Amino acid sequence: MQSHRRVLLLNASYEALNIVSAPKALALVWRRVAEVLENDPGETIRSLRYTFQVPSVIRLTHYVDVRSRQNRTTSRLRILVRDKYRCQYCGKKGTAFDLTLDHIMPKSKGGRTTAENLVAACMPCNNRKADRTPDEARMPLLANPAALYFGLRQAAFHHAAEERPEWKKYLFLEDAYLERTA
């Protein structure tokens, strides 16, 4: 079974949760953990005996509270994309090679390695801030951490949806849902 197509995974509440591989999505549907909302037109996966239609959007049959788990997602690239490759202290544009990740609340002061406590920072700003909070260093952030965390998920989903128009209605629905509950 091989397919590198991606599948949008929604919670039972229709909130976008993740982007998973087609084989993983099929396994979830097979185990009845998830149901298919949209199929990927023309995409199939063959096993020895069967041909499966590849889903495009699936939805968990039972609500899963993943908020605490998602907070631990700290992929460097996703944070750089979220921050649009800009140092979040001075605003200077950088690349994946010269930008660092800075702990907003330093680890030495109990700051955790979570997406909302990490920002893109250029080397000079990271060195200058050192082991201090933004307040102590008098280096205010360009965006507040809650906005940064919200942006992290949105950036990833919207980037993926550029190639998958059938995902958009679910992602817009998520925007509306989050605005209502914000």
* CA gap 19, 64 in Å, rounded: 15
Minimal distance in Å, beta carbon 121 to Zn ion? 6
Site string for Zn ion, 116-135 (x = CB under 5 A): ------x--x----------
Minimal distance in Å, beta carbon 153 to Zn ion? 24
33 vs 124, beta carbon nearer Zn ion: 124
Minimal distance in Å, beta carbon 112 to Zn ion? 22
User: Residue from 1, 33, 64, 90 that binds Zn ion (CB under 5 A)?
Assistant: 90
Residue 151 in 3-state DSSP? Answer: helix
Minimal distance in Å, beta carbon 21 to Zn ion? 36
* CA gap 121, 57 in Å, rounded: 35
By the rule CB under 5 A, 89 interacts with Zn ion: yes
By the rule CB under 5 A, 87 interacts with Zn ion: yes
* CA gap 63, 71 in Å, rounded: 18
What angle do the packed helices 145-161 and 168-181 form, to 10 degrees? 160
Stretch that binds Zn ion, among 39-47, 84-92, 137-145, 161-169 (CB under 5 A): 84-92
124 vs 169, beta carbon nearer Zn ion: 124
Sign of the CA dihedral 129, 147, 157, 71? positive
Nearest CA among 66, 54, 78 for reference residue 10 = 66
Positions in 42-71 near Zn ion (CB under 5 A): none
Beta-bridge partners for 59: 10, 35
Amino acid at 128: R
Minimal distance in Å, beta carbon 118 to Zn ion? 15
Whole-angstrom CA distances from 136 to 31, 66, 100, 104, 128 are 52, 33, 20, 11, 11
Minimal distance in Å, beta carbon 137 to Zn ion? 12
Stretch that binds Zn ion, among 33-41, 82-90, 112-120, 136-144 (CB under 5 A): 82-90
Summarize as ranges the residues that interact with Zn ion (CB under 5 A): 87, 89-90, 92, 122, 125
